[in-house]
Chain A
Amino acid sequence: NAGVTQTPKFQVLKTGQSMTLQCAQDMNHNSMYWYRQDPGMGLRLIYYSASEGTTDKGEVPNGYNVSRLNKREFSLRLESAAPSQTSVYFCASTSLDRNYGYTFGSGTRLTVV
C-alpha cells in the first residue's frame, strides 16, 4: 500500500518549458488535490477533483491545468513554466467521508530558471 505517489521528485525547467506532474493513489479515494508550497509559507490549493470526471479551481489556478485521468490518477500540467512557479507541489487524496483526513504525497520540488 503505497498511499499517494508523486513523480518526479525533483525537476528543473527553463522558462517557457512545459511539464506534467503525476500523482497516483491506491486507496480508492474519491477526491484528489494539488497544492503548492512556497518557502516559509503554508500550502495553497491549485486545483482539486471531488470525484472522477470533475475538476475545479482552487485558490491559485492560473498557469496550471489538471486532468483526472481515472479514479487513481490526477495530473498537473504547466504549459509554459515561469520562475514564479518555482515551488514544492503536493498531491493529496481523501475519501468522501474524510474520517481519516487527507493523505499527502512526498512532493515534487520544481525550480524554474
Chain B
Amino acid sequence: DAKTTQPPSMDCAEGRAANLPCNHSTISGNEYVYWYRQIHSQGPQYIIHGLKNNETNEMASLIITEDRKSSTLILPHATLRDTAVYYCIVNNAGNMLTFGGGTRLMVKP
C-alpha cells in the first residue's frame, strides 16, 4: 500500500473550517483514500473515503486532487469535540489498513 505524509499537528479555531492535508504521491490506480480519527484513547472512527471524486457526508468532505497524489479532509465547522488524531490511509479495498502517525488536530475556543 502507498505511504502517506501528514503534518504532525495543526490548530483550528472553533467554528472555522479545519483543512487537513495528506500527501500520497505513490498511490496506485486501485487504491482508495480513507480518513479515520481517534478521539483521546477511544477506538478509531471511520470518517470518509474516496477513489477519484470528491466526497461529502454528514461528518466531512474529502477533496482529492486530479492526479490523486494528495487530498484534503475538510471539517466545515470545527467544534471542540473534533479535537483528535486524524489518520489518512491509502489502501486497496482488499488489504488491511496500515496506520501512520496521523495529524493531531487541536480545536481551540
Task: Enumerate chain A interface residues (CB-CB to B < 8 A).
Answer: 4, 33, 35, 41-45, 48, 58-59, 88, 90, 92, 97-98, 100-107, 109
Task: Enumerate chain B interface residues (CB-CB to A < 8 A).
Answer: 34, 36, 41-47, 49, 87, 93, 96-102
Query: In the complex, A97 Cα to B93 Cα: how many Å?
Result: 7
Query: In the complex, A92 Cα to B49 Cα: how many Å?
Result: 17
The dominant DSSP class at the B interface is: loop
Number of residue pairs across A and B with beta carbons under 8 Å? 48
Counting chain A CB atoms within 10 Å of each CB, the highest count among B36, B46, B100 belongs to: B46
Query: In the complex, A106 Cα to B44 Cα: how many Å?
Result: 9
Cross-chain contact A42 with B96 (CB below 8 angstroms): no
Cross-chain contact B43 with A105 (CB below 8 angstroms): yes
Select one of A44, A45, A48, A90 contacting B44, CB under 8 A.
A90
Cross-chain contact A104 with B45 (CB below 8 angstroms): yes
Query: In the complex, A72 Cα to B93 Cα: how many Å?
Result: 21
Cross-chain contact A101 with B43 (CB below 8 angstroms): no
Report the minimal beta-carbon distance from B7 to chain A, rounded to whole angstroms.
Answer: 15
Q: Across the interface, which residues of A come within 8 angstroms of B43, CB to CB?
A: 4, 90, 92, 104-107
Q: Across the interface, which residues of A come within 8 angstroms of B46, CB to CB?
A: 100-103
Report the minimal beta-carbon distance from B80 to chain A, rounded to whole angstroms.
Answer: 21
Cross-chain contact A42 with B87 (CB below 8 angstroms): yes
